[in-house]
Structure 1
Amino acid sequence: MATLTANRLNQVFDTKKDNLLSIYYTAGYPELHATVDIAEALEQAGADFLEIGFPYSDPVADGPTIQHSSQMALENGMNVNLLFEQLADLRQRVSIPVLLMGYVNPMVQYGIERFCAKAEEVGVDGLIVPDLPMYEYEAMYKDVFARHNLSNIFLVTPQTSEARIRKIDELSNSFIYLLSSSSITGKNLQVSDITELYFKRIKDMQLKNPTMIGFGISDAAAYQKACAYANGAIVGSAFVKFLGNEDYMDRLPEFVKEIKHPSQPSPEGRAF
């Protein structure tokens, strides 16, 4: 059985225990060839790691903002082959961990072994595949991921049973992605009593793997609330929406700063 060796993800969680910030964006959006430029700019701005989405025509877990970015990326000409071509010089320009996030169908069409081999070759550290069943991963792909030194990131929702969370914790070797709700991406984080109980329940389980909270992290207030219960937070739809600005590259450092180190944090956050 193949065993995963320590990769950049493990190292970042070992060296920085909390207040981590991960940013998600879609490869090929808003411009086809901006994928690595955005990654480099995010690292320079202070992101701790990145999630690059490979677009798919039927992104069932995504809200309208990320669905739109996927559609635009596909129309721009993005595909898995081109993404790996773009990432060929990733590690000459970016040192923080990078994950690929997407759906299992494009991976199967490309070939799971081939996809993992190319991901390792370009310096990807892990994969987030929301529609890859846990039993299928364990039975068919766990050794493939490990052979190519890729962490598989599992998702947990408020409805996930304790038994399943324990199983996920056992199978994980990096971090566990806590969805703030069971809805699609892009819904603002509403920290109700129920949500707080869910976050506290996970924290009290004392899992062996770190946790990151995603879905609805759109401003400094939501980021800080998530960091109170997990090792950090993931910003997705809010950043993808921000990329719709014509001057997104010039304003990108400001976007990250206002999430991590806001000058005047407010419950409403800053409107980008």
Structure 2
Amino acid sequence: MNRLNQLFSTKKENLLSIYYTAGFPELNTTVAIAEALEKAGADFLEIGFPYSDPLADGPVIQNSSQKALENGMNLNVLFEQLKTLRQRVTIPILLMGYFNPVVQFGVEKFCQKAVEVGVDGVIIPDLPMYEYESLYKPYFIENNLSNIFLVTPQTSEDRIRKIDQLSQSFIYLLSSSSITGKNLEVSDNVELYFKRIKDLELKNPTVIGFGISGHAAFAKACAYANGAIVGSAFVKFLASEKDYLNGIPAFIRQIKNPAVLV
């Protein structure tokens, strides 16, 4: 089992994952942010590698990607930074980004380098499932690297079952088909969607993302899934706080348990 599987086998609920963009707000703080997030109580992390045309991202993450690229971030730089990752961070780490940079880097090489530096899984939203299965699956299996699939409210049950069959750690449930950064509005339709997924009794754990920005949304997501992912709200925090490393514990506390004041 990799670290993701170990995590989900020992903790079944209220898991908190944090997304942030590598190289933002500064080029060389990628591992320091990961270390601070683990100490503050995050259960696992998604480190985004920036791309110049991030179609599914809202303005907050788009701006962070642009700034990270301007700072000099790319996959070569990221893998160089992550060489010290496992000396400082023990929780599971995923890389998240678009497929174009991975293809340019080389898919097999990307998988090898990811595992080499201690990465446990990858989320590539625009990698088609049939391409993964027919072309790239062996690279992931050989390296014990989890490929995380996304499900939206429009995903059919047949496709969800297929994703469950192909998945090795967890399934990422998008709270909507919108771009990132939209606040989670738990309407009757969204509740029905969450309940529909829960009632399928999938073999893989599920984690809900898109629109989780505070404790209420986190708690609501965790009522239907094993955990939730906070992305845009954390990236916005990094952009607005000068002393963001020291501010991370308070940020995590307001998501997980704002009643705890110390």
User: TM-score normalised by the shorter chain: which range applies?
Assistant: over 0.9
Report the AA paired with residue 257 of structure 1.
Answer: R
Aligned residue in 2 for 1:131: 126
Aligned residue in 1 for 2:115: 120
Q: 1:247 aligned to 240, 243, 246, which one?
A: 243
Superposition deviation, residue 250 in structure 1: 1.3
Q: 1:44 aligned to 24, 36, 39, which one?
A: 39
Between the aligned partners of 2:57 and 2:130, the Cα distance in structure 1 is 23
Between the aligned partners of 1:11 and 1:146, the Cα distance in structure 2 is 17
Matches within 5 A, 1:95-174: 95-174=90-169
Q: 1:256 aligned to 244, 247, 252, which one?
A: 252
Residue by residue, what CA displacement relative to the aligned partner does 1:23-73 show, whole Å, maximum 9, x if unpaired? 000000000000000000000000000000000000111000000000000
Report the AA paired with residue 12 of structure 1.
Answer: L
Aligned residue in 1 for 2:172: 177
Aligned residue in 2 for 1:194: 189
Structure 2, gaps ≥5 residues long: none
Could you say what secondary structure the match of 2:224 adopts?
coil
Aligned residue in 2 for 1:19: 14
1:230 aligns with 2:187: no
Residue by residue, what CA displacement relative to the aligned partner does 1:154-184 show, whole Å, maximum 9, x if unpaired? 0000000000000000000100000000000
Q: 1:90 aligned to 85, 90, 106, which one?
A: 85
Residue by residue, what CA displacement relative to the aligned partner does 1:219-252 show, whole Å, maximum 9, x if unpaired? 0000000000000000000000000111211111
Between the aligned partners of 1:259 and 1:199, the Cα distance in structure 2 is 20
Could you say what secondary structure the match of 2:184 adopts?
coil
Between the aligned partners of 1:196 and 1:137, the Cα distance in structure 2 is 30
Between the aligned partners of 1:164 and 1:149, the Cα distance in structure 2 is 23
Report the AA paired with residue 156 of structure 1.
Answer: V
Q: TM-score, normalised by structure 1?
A: 0.95
Superposition deviation, residue 264 in structure 1: 8.0
Identity %: 76
Between the aligned partners of 1:106 and 1:246, the Cα distance in structure 2 is 30
Q: Size of the alignment, in residue pairs?
A: 260
Between the aligned partners of 2:147 and 2:203, the Cα distance in structure 1 is 15
Superposition deviation, residue 212 in structure 1: 0.1
Q: 2:67 aligned to 36, 49, 72, which one?
A: 72
Between the aligned partners of 2:138 and 2:258, the Cα distance in structure 1 is 42
Between the aligned partners of 2:56 and 2:167, the Cα distance in structure 1 is 21
1:213 aligns with 2:203: no
Could you say what secondary structure the match of 1:29 adopts?
coil
Between the aligned partners of 1:264 and 1:18, the Cα distance in structure 2 is 19
Q: 1:54 aligned to 24, 49, 52, which one?
A: 49
Between the aligned partners of 1:68 and 1:30, the Cα distance in structure 2 is 10
Report the AA paired with residue 226 of structure 2.
Answer: N
Aligned residue in 2 for 1:9: 4
Residue by residue, what CA displacement relative to the aligned partner does 1:194-223 show, whole Å, maximum 9, x if unpaired? 000000000000000000000000000000
Structure 1, gaps ≥5 residues long: 1-5, 266-272
Between the aligned partners of 1:147 and 1:158, the Cα distance in structure 2 is 32
Superposition deviation, residue 149 in structure 1: 1.0
Report the AA paired with residue 127 of structure 2.
Answer: L
Between the aligned partners of 2:246 and 2:165, the Cα distance in structure 1 is 42
Q: 8 Å contact 2:253–2:260 — kept in the other structure?
A: no
